[in-house]
Amino acid sequence: MAETYPCEAGCGTIITHAPYRKTRLCVPCVRSANGRNPSKRAKGSIAMKKRMADPVFKARQLSIAHDAMRERLASDPELRARQADICRALGKSGAGRAAQGKGSEPRRRAAITRRQTMLGWCPPHLLPEYQRMIYSKRMKAADARAAIEELMRKEEANLSPFEKQLLRIRNGEVGISRKFVPEKDVSPFTLGGVGSGML
């Protein structure tokens, strides 16, 4: 029977001995000790920053974290109420706005994201015209959008079939056709008869 012993940190956990163990601490106590160690925290921070520099890894991790938080908020009304109170207090305090002044990098990023979300339907080259309609001409958003969509239709009508196809590919509406590959091998024949020796 494997040897067992209590965790040395005094948490009361009984540990089963294994040859790979370097300490006589349970896993939560090891994590706690590593979290209090400045050199290990710095090493872990560098490693995580390096991994988070990969956009694919970062997107996957954020997706996992967001999904987990959504599930917790949906299943725990007390947590949801507590988080709502925290967010309300933070919003009223103005701490976020005070820390990030006008023209700061986070505000610029937020503006770009908001524009992509709300004005994703508008092509970038027509965005100044849409903004001119809204701010200078004081048009309603729905009317300005209708006018821009009319401009988009006129532009598309003036395109050649090839340019229309390129535009649809850029917008992800159609894929590029795959190269034709015969279903069965018909060698040594070719369309011109070269492979058959007839020419």
Q: pLDDT per residue over 97-149, tens digit each?
A: 777 878 888 888 888 888 888 888 888 889 999 999 999 999 999 999 999 99
Which band of pLDDT confidence, cut at 50, 70 and 90, is reported for residue 85?
Answer: very high
The answer to whether residue 43 is domain-embedded is yes
The answer to whether residue 142 is domain-embedded is yes
> In angstroms, rounded to a whole number, what is the distance separating the alpha carbons of residues 188 and 197?
9
Q: Is 100 helix (H, G, I), strand (E, B) or coil?
A: coil
Q: Is 154 helix (H, G, I), strand (E, B) or coil?
A: helix
Q: How far is CA 81 from CA 85, 91, 94, in A?
A: 6, 15, 20
The answer to whether residue 33 is domain-embedded is yes
For residue 176, pLDDT beyond 70: no
Tally of domains within the chain: 2
Structure tokens at 50: 């390096």
Q: pLDDT per residue over 19-63, tens digit each?
A: 888 888 899 999 998 899 999 999 999 999 999 999 899 999 999
> In angstroms, rounded to a whole number, what is the distance separating the alpha carbons of residues 26 and 6?
9
The answer to whether residue 193 is domain-embedded is no
Backbone angles phi, psi at 138, to 5 degrees: 60, 40
For residue 198, pLDDT beyond 60: no
The answer to whether residue 114 is domain-embedded is no
The answer to whether residue 48 is domain-embedded is yes
Domain residues for 25? 13-53
